[in-house]
Amino acid sequence: MEPPSTQDSTLAVDTLVPIPPLSQDFLRTLDIVSDMAVGNALLFYSRVYFSSGGKIILREDQILAGVRYHERQSVIKIARTGSGKTMQIIIAALMNPRQIILVLSPLLRLQDSMVDEINKDFAGVRAIAINHALRNNFEAWKGIEAGMYNIIITSPEQCKTINGHSTRLHTLLCKNKTWPKQISGVVVDEAHGKHGLDGEYGLAREYGVDGGD
């Protein structure tokens, strides 16, 4: 899979304000998580900072959730609207640029706003929303199938059959032998609705959805 093309990812590093150091108390807390946690945290911290052109400085709670997710732990993060939960998706994509993060989000407006935010603010990642608006966009689907996007935001319905007919994404997930292997993780946005995934959609069992944002 080719690495995602980016906005101009050559950053004028010398013009950025120096990134504040993480607190020693927080680093000691990370030591308890795993032997690799401190190194991963420092990498996330700097990578998001430079990818955003110095606009985003991760908070400790965002870093901790990112560390646990990166170490393949299931993570549930509870935070108010606008508190920066999307950073967990950004961290995962920046750490796995040749793989796909599949984000399940139930609302079209949220899907579109996340795609706009990610593509506008971060170099090194490319996001796309898969919903009915993409149905006849053949160029976009060629890019999806070729692995041009490393963040794919969609709804649970798009991962299932609808009225007995397989959606295009469902076909990729279930009938393409190689495409699903590019998916490194699944993020459930608005995870308070996860009971819907287990009930009507059954995605938690079918696709191994076990973490939320």
Which SS3 state, helix, strand or coil, does residue 68 take? helix
Residue 9 has pLDDT above 80, yes or no: no
Q: Give 33-36's long-range contacts (Cβ < 8 A, gap of 24+).
A: 33/64, 33/67, 33/68, 33/71, 34/67, 34/71, 36/71
Residue 209 — pLDDT band, cuts 50, 70, 90? very low
Query: Distance (Å, rounded) from C-alpha 115 to C-alpha 150?
Result: 11
Whether 79 is in a domain gets the answer: yes
Query: Distance (Å, rounded) from C-alpha 27 to C-alpha 45?
Result: 12
What is the mean predicted confidence (pLDDT) over 39-54? 93
DSSP run (H or E) holding 173? helix 168-175
Question: Residue 1: what pLDDT?
Answer: 39
85-141 pLDDT, tens digit each: 889 899 999 998 899 999 999 888 889 999 999 999 999 999 999 998 898 899 999
Total domains present in the chain: 1
User: What are residue 113's phi and psi, to 5 degrees?
Assistant: -70, -35
Q: Which residue spans within 71-171 are E strands per DSSP?
A: 100-104, 127-130, 151-154, 161-162, 165-166
Least Cα distance to 211 among 11, 72, 49 occurs for 72
Contacts of 80 (CB under 8 A, 6+ apart): none
Most confident of 168-172, 189-193, 194-198: 168-172
Whether 34 is in a domain gets the answer: no
Whether 58 is in a domain gets the answer: no
Question: Residue 160: what pLDDT?
Answer: 87
Query: Distance (Å, rounded) from C-alpha 99 to C-alpha 89?
Result: 12
Query: Distance (Å, rounded) from C-alpha 197 to C-alpha 104?
Result: 10
Residue-range definition of the domain harbouring residue 186: 74-206
Whether 14 is in a domain gets the answer: no
Whether 149 is in a domain gets the answer: yes
Residue of 178 and 14 predicted with greater confidence: 178
Residue 180 has pLDDT above 80, yes or no: yes
Question: Residue 205: what pLDDT?
Answer: 44
Whether 52 is in a domain gets the answer: no
Residue 189 has pLDDT above 60, yes or no: yes
Whether 104 is in a domain gets the answer: yes
Whether 193 is in a domain gets the answer: yes
Residue 133's domain is classified under what CATH number? 3.40.50.300
Residue 174 has pLDDT above 80, yes or no: yes
